Amino acid sequence: MKNGIEKQIENNVPHRRFNPLSGEWILVSPQRATRPWQGQVEESTRVELPEHDADCYLCSGNVRVNGEINPTYRGPFVFDNDFPALLEDVDACDEENDALFQRMSVSGVSKVICFSERHDLTLPEMSVEMIRSIVDVWAALYEALGKTYRWVQVFENKGAINGCSNPHPHGQLWASDAVPTLVAREDERQKAFMQDKGKNLLLEYSQREILLNERVVLKNAHWVVVVPYWATWPFETLLLPRRSVDVFAALTSEEKDSLAGIIQLLTIKYDNLFQASFPYSMGWHCAPNSIGETEAKATDHWQLHAHFYPPLLRSATIRKFMVGYEMLAEAQRDMTPEQAAERLRTQPETHYKTNT
């Protein structure tokens, strides 16, 4: 199979690849990578930010939109989102089971996680210790909210090009009593793989990727980062533990240290790629919690992982749009995942700003 794919890439032949985690196919068109671009070019966001911005809603000691005052915090600071998408104490809606008009109640919470008091420091410019303190906040939130909610989604939406409303480095958390669509699908796919093959899908996948060494961007003693074989976004990556880990709470202290290290290196490589603050949406997936179920569900089919979905394609100002064929047929990419992995792998592990 490997030879066949290599040959197709060599010959620049379009082909389709299968994403076993989502069950979706993707069209890969390497022959198209050199097409001219006369479309939208985004504003480059190479602005120098201050360490503290008096007008920022998220900065330490500042007033938020609702009039509340942030404490004078140092390190990560978590608060309840003032504009939450999910509400905790809501009346159940009238549930509908009609085949064409279904609806169900949902309750939950939304939180904002300011990464530190520094308005100007994104993850790749933080020390490993600072990133480790964010990892600890994620772990604590998983632990606390995992007792109440079936799903806890931790994510970071970074960069104005990606719809992020505030440059102050921050992530979010949305927890709900319902398991969201994409997570439910990953649950089903991993479960089916375990039933069919008796193996954990993503553990098996990461071990094979390490052996193939074509799409590996980074690895350390506990973690590996690959551009997945089925990547949709040009520089999409998947961050995986190298042993079987079903939930975030199962990580050891050592694994959390090396997680902070690999997040720092990956985001440095991302920034170095186009010598700009690299936008992305990233977030964690792990086994949902068995809340409100009569018995705890098996979770050995689940492998904890983080997805990084960056929108940029050719430069800091040209993004990939998921439109047209992608909206109507299936996702498509030009550059192969192997080419993207090579470009990321060869980026220096020192942030470009430290050299200028």
- Smallest CA-to-CA distance from 151 within 127, 178, 128 is with 178
Whole-number CA gyration radius for the chain: 21
The residues binding Zn ion (CB under 5 A) are 53, 56, 58-59, 119, 168
Q: How far is the CB of 168 from Zn ion (least distance, A)?
A: 3
Stretch touching ligand H2U by CB under 6 A, among 158-166, 209-217, 227-235, 318-326:
158-166
**Partner touching 314 among Zn ion, ligand H2U, none, CB below 5 to 8 Å by kind:** none
**Binding residues for ligand H2U restricted to 24-63, rule: CB under 6 A:** 57
Cα angle at 333 between 327 and 337, to 5 degrees?
140
Q: Is 170 a catalytic residue?
A: yes
- Smallest CA-to-CA distance from 188 within 286, 301, 104 is with 301
**Partner touching 8 among ligand H2U, Zn ion, none, CB below 5 to 8 Å by kind:** none
Q: How far is the CB of 156 from Zn ion (least distance, A)?
A: 15
Collect all residues with Cβ–Cβ distance below 8 Å to 71 and sequence separation of at least 6: 60, 61, 77
**Partner touching 165 among Zn ion, ligand H2U, none, CB below 5 to 8 Å by kind:** ligand H2U
Q: How far is the CB of 168 from ligand H2U (least distance, A)?
A: 9
Residue 200 or 281: the one with the smaller Cβ distance to ligand H2U is 281
State yes or no: residue 330 binds ligand H2U (CB under 6 A).
no
Stretch touching ligand H2U by CB under 6 A, among 75-83, 87-95, 195-203, 207-215:
75-83
Report d(CA 10, CA 51) in Å as an integer.
Answer: 48
Residues found near ligand H2U in the complex (CB under 6 A) = 57, 64-65, 81-83, 112, 157, 164-166, 172
Q: Which residues are catalytic?
A: 170
